[in-house]
Amino acid sequence: MVTSLIRGKQFNRNRLLGKYWRVILDGTGLFCFKEKHCENCLRTERRTDDGKKEKLYYHKVLEAKIVLGDSMVISLGTEFIENEKEDVEKQDCETNAAKRLMERIKKDYPRLPICIQGDALYATEPMMELCREKYHWAYIFTQKDTRQKLLDEGFEWIKSGGIKKASGLCEEKGTGCYANHVEEVAGKKESMNVFEYEYEKKDKKGKKYRVRFRWISSLELTGKNLEEMIYAGRGRWKIENEGFNNQKNGIYRIEHLNSRNSNAMKNHYLLTQISDILMQLYLAWNPYIKKLKQTVKNTSSGLLESFRGLTVTAEDVSYIYRYTTVYLE
């Protein structure tokens, strides 16, 4: 399904810089238990309010989502973050899961031009090297001053000495700036490009404050592509906040435990990703749904009801054989 969507060329114009498919890595918690749930549970300890130690057992998942369009962001691959067995010395983590997932994606889509996106967790030298050398992928990672202190100081230093700037960017009409080939601060081997976006926002009391984002990328920045790159970088943030939220609180409720059996749990999660692709396509192409302005939840209930109640006619079947052009926004 994903391959035919990519091959279909309908989404080609949404590729970054006319070339790269944006693939966003993002981990999220699925279930948390107070007692051991299965052999593969991740474990942690937390202090309760009265100072007692409490053990927690939980399950996490890492998603690689491919951006086909503004309203079409679908699962390209899923990797469960879990321990191999109960008594492992070092627990599984998002970075290790990411390595497994990236390897699988390369195997499944060897020639797909990909730009990997992720949060500051991924802005490390080994990860950059992996993308560049092993997979030949581009990357955009969020950069936080706490994570790469040297890089941050380096960039501040470059900024003070004069840097390429542009203003009036994106909806907020903020300012952006960039520096290419920041070798000396990226690490021993890697050289990278850094860019930043800043704009002014007002809080509830009307007090002004500045919002700043910074990214590192293997793609070279130019005055021409800066705004597109900022949109791409911020899109990652948007997906992280909306993508999983829709799945958690919206129509799917992936956090709802349907079975305590861990295989069934995973299957349910994967089926949800498939339903999500179908639902997003249905919402994106159907012109009547936009006019109805009903909630996604009502649309999905309506769809389910029609599966249950409506009889398929000969006319319906004839549509399957007809070549139809679907216009997606």
- The conformational region for residue 168 under phi > 0 = left, psi -120 to 50 = alpha, else beta, is left
> Does 120 contact Zn ion by CB under 5 A?
no
Burial (Cβ within 10 Å: 0-12, 13-18, ≥19) of residue 248: middle
Which is closer to Zn ion, CB of 41 or CB of 229?
41
Part of the chain binding Zn ion (CB under 5 A), chosen from 31-39, 145-153, 165-173, 237-245 = 31-39
> Does 266 contact Zn ion by CB under 5 A?
no
Which is closer to Zn ion, CB of 4 or CB of 263?
263
Which is closer to Zn ion, CB of 33 or CB of 237?
33
Part of the chain binding Zn ion (CB under 5 A), chosen from 30-38, 95-103, 219-227, 235-243 = 30-38
Cβ of residue 42: shortest distance to Zn ion, in angstroms? Answer: 8
Residue 141 to residue 154: CA distance in whole angstroms: 17
Cβ of residue 29: shortest distance to Zn ion, in angstroms? Answer: 12
Cβ of residue 111: shortest distance to Zn ion, in angstroms? Answer: 37
Among the listed residues 165, 179, 229, the one whose alpha carbon sits nearest the alpha carbon of residue 19: 229
| DSSP 8-state assignment for residue 166 | E
Residue 215 to residue 229: CA distance in whole angstroms: 9
> Does 38 contact Zn ion by CB under 5 A?
yes
Report the 10 Å Cβ neighbour count for 179: 19
Cβ of residue 264: shortest distance to Zn ion, in angstroms? Answer: 12
> Does 37 contact Zn ion by CB under 5 A?
yes
Residue 304 to residue 276: CA distance in whole angstroms: 14
69: three-class secondary structure by DSSP: strand
Which of 6, 25, 41, 232: binder of Zn ion (CB under 5 A)?
Answer: 41
Residues that bind Zn ion (CB under 5 A): 37-38, 41
